[in-house]
Amino acid sequence: MSIINDALKKAQKSLTRTEKVSDKNPEPPVFPAAPDAPKSHDGKSISNMYEKLHKPRVDQDKRTAAPKHEDEVVHMAPQQRSAKNWVKIALTAVVILAFAAGGFYLAQQYAPFKNIFASLKKSSRRSGFQFSNAPAKKRKYKPGELVLNGTSLIDGRMVALINDEIYEAGDVVNGMSVINIEMNKVELADDQKITTLHVR
């Protein structure tokens, strides 16, 4: 009730201020009001009516608790409210995290998103090279055919990939020995001739 009293007092003060200001400034012309229009009032009659209705009781002091008990009640109320606020905040955070985790799980299970997650995992790796568990399919070559698939430098030695197999200088391929390995070029020799293979 004290809040209402304070609000009414503020309203009365603002009305008295406007009356003082209106005394300094000339009033605008007043037009006659319609007969059904409500009559304006100064606000004092409302506050008097409020005071008549809500008079303080004389015996109210007998019903109040001891001062120590009142102090305890006053101090406990904000703590209870803050505890309730923390509980609400914690529950809200748990619910939001649960929804986020559930949404993430469902998005991974949904087929179109599986491709997106797979591409993100591939792009997040440092090197773009992936090892496969399945052995590489070997091409079928005709007997006696030699195809140079590539050359590389491994541990400081040049190696050649001929017919999907790795060879070093001095190894024998189909009865021919590897003489020289250069970038994109390998020289093979048998007893009669020297054969040069180029990368296709």
Identify whether residues 155 and 112 lie together within a single domain. Answer: no
Identify whether residues 112 and 68 lie together within a single domain. Answer: yes
Q: Is residue 82 part of a domain?
A: yes
Q: Is residue 112 part of a domain?
A: yes
Q: Tell me the mean pLDDT in the region 22-44.
A: 56
Q: Is residue 26 part of a domain?
A: no
Identify whether residues 112 and 154 lie together within a single domain. Answer: no
**pLDDT tens digits for range 119-166:** 776 665 545 555 666 776 777 878 888 888 899 988 889 999 988 889
How many domains, the chain? 2
Choose the final residue of a domain: 119, 137, 162. 119
Q: Is residue 78 part of a domain?
A: yes
Q: Is residue 15 part of a domain?
A: no
Interatomic CA distance for residues 124 and 7, integer angstroms? 63
167 has a pLDDT exceeding 80: yes
Map residue 116 onto helix, strand or coil.
helix
Which H helix or E strand runs over 185?
strand 185-189
Q: Is residue 127 part of a domain?
A: no
Q: Tell me the mean pLDDT in the region 23-39.
A: 56
10 has a pLDDT exceeding 80: yes
116 has a pLDDT exceeding 90: no
Q: Is the dihedral of CA 28, 32, 36, 41 positive or negative?
A: positive
Identify whether residues 111 and 152 lie together within a single domain. Answer: no
What is the pLDDT at residue 125?
A: 58
Q: Tell me the mean pLDDT in the region 51-62.
A: 60
| Residue with the two structure tokens 């009001």 | 33
Q: Is residue 183 part of a domain?
A: yes
Identify whether residues 68 and 114 lie together within a single domain. Answer: yes
Q: Is residue 57 part of a domain?
A: no
**Residue 137 Rama label (left phi>0; alpha psi -120 to 50; beta):** beta
What is the pLDDT at residue 139?
A: 77
Which domain does 114 fall in, by range? Answer: 63-119
